[in-house]
Structure 1
Amino acid sequence: MGASAPRCPGRGHGRRDQPRRAPFLRGLRLRRFGRSVGAGSVSAPSIRVRTASLADYDSLVALFDELDEFHRRARPDVFRRFDGPARSRDEIGGWLAGPGSTILAAEEDDGLVVGLALLLTRPPSPFAGRVPRKVIELDNLAVRGDRRSQGIGEHLLRAMVAWSRAQGASHIEVGVHAFNRDARRFYERFGFVSSIDRLVMAA
């Protein structure tokens, strides 16, 4: 399932060719739901959620491209095609360099990356009347089209919560476009609740 959170520009140009071994992600090897095949059933391979690295660049770009196409089809008035890869190597490298951002990758037993979650730390509000909070923004969530409805998105959300807590976050937020009702139901089932509705009109 693709999330409809707004895209954010990459920050920094750090590059990291090896996955970061984060203690909060150790052991996050989760069994997917069995898939029915004919009269019987077959157990699907397990999914491991880990911190992505630039070695995953091609797989990550493919997932971002699939997510972008979903948004272009739904809102051609907002999203358009552009030259170049879905996300540049520097852009992804900046997110991976952190420390307030990361990309989580869901991979199968054979190493195939089938999902991602992009997490960004929101800057604190300068307004003195705002209660101090540390908010992690789930900027994008994407799962390969041929792997959806198999629990992978939920595995990524669980890892997202673990990463956010390790960062000392008080809240996690995600933006969902009005057209993406499936995504809204998905997040609400996990525990997200509505906070602010953003309304738009032509000028």
Structure 2
Amino acid sequence: MPIATLTEVRQLCSSDYDAYLARVDELDAVHRDALPGIFRARESGRPRTLEYFEALLADPNTLMIGAWVEAELAGYAHAILREVEHLGIHVGRRYVLIDNFAVGPRWQRRGVGRALVDAVADWAKQRGATDLELEVWEVNAGAIRFYEEIGFEPQRRRLARSLA
């Protein structure tokens, strides 16, 4: 597929709420379909409230950005600046956690995700962060492949065992 011609990567604002919800709906469906024992179908209403979205936008330690192709929100990233104190065996450090990340299916493998991660990395560096971190579900092989292609490496592994 050809690289998408990004119109812009910018901070999201309240007026982007509906476009954000469209991407969130897609991401929620991926998780729900792959892991129905963890994620359930929404009973009604919107996948995230406007109040939740606006709280993220207002938080100075949170970045909410979107990649726009023409007039469409092709993808978004929600990142959080975190600090770990120098305590016990932990080295004090500042890092950014990519907490939520989605690129619409028709925009995947076209440079949108890379542009978003690059923008998060720039924001993180401006705030003195030394690393980017994220978590990804093992069933999401496409996302794992993408993250590894752009330089993310496994750092720890979380395992689960059913008691049913």
Query: How far is 1:184 from its partner?
Result: 1.0
* Greater length-normalized contact order (CA 8 Å, ≥ 6 residues apart): 1
Deviation digits for residues 72-126 of structure 1 (CA, Å, limit 9, x no counterpart): 00000100122321111111111111211021100123x3211100101235358
Bigger proportion of residues as helix:
2
Question: Whole-Å Cα distance in 2 between the matches of residues 85 and 123 of structure 1?
Answer: 32
1:30-69 to structure 2, matched below 5 A, reads 34=2, 44-69=4-29
Superposition RMSD in Å:
1.8
1:91-170 to structure 2, matched below 5 A, reads 91-109=52-70, 111-125=71-85, 127-170=87-130
TM-score (normalised: structure 1): 0.74
Question: Whole-Å Cα distance in 1 between the matches of residues 20 and 127 of structure 2?
Answer: 23
Question: Whole-Å Cα distance in 1 between the matches of residues 73 and 58 of structure 2?
Answer: 20
Secondary structure of the structure 1 residue equivalent to 2:93 = coil
Question: Whole-Å Cα distance in 2 between the matches of residues 201 and 122 of structure 1?
Answer: 29
The one of 22, 31, 48 aligned to 1:87: 48
TM-score (normalised: structure 2): 0.91
The 8 Å contact of residues 7 and 68 in structure 2, kept in 1 or not, is answered as yes
The 8 Å contact of residues 47 and 152 in structure 1, kept in 2 or not, is answered as no
Query: Percent identity over the alignment?
Result: 31
- Counterpart of 2:135? 175
Question: Whole-Å Cα distance in 2 between the matches of residues 164 and 123 of structure 1?
Answer: 12
1:65-76 to structure 2, matched below 5 A, reads 65-76=25-36
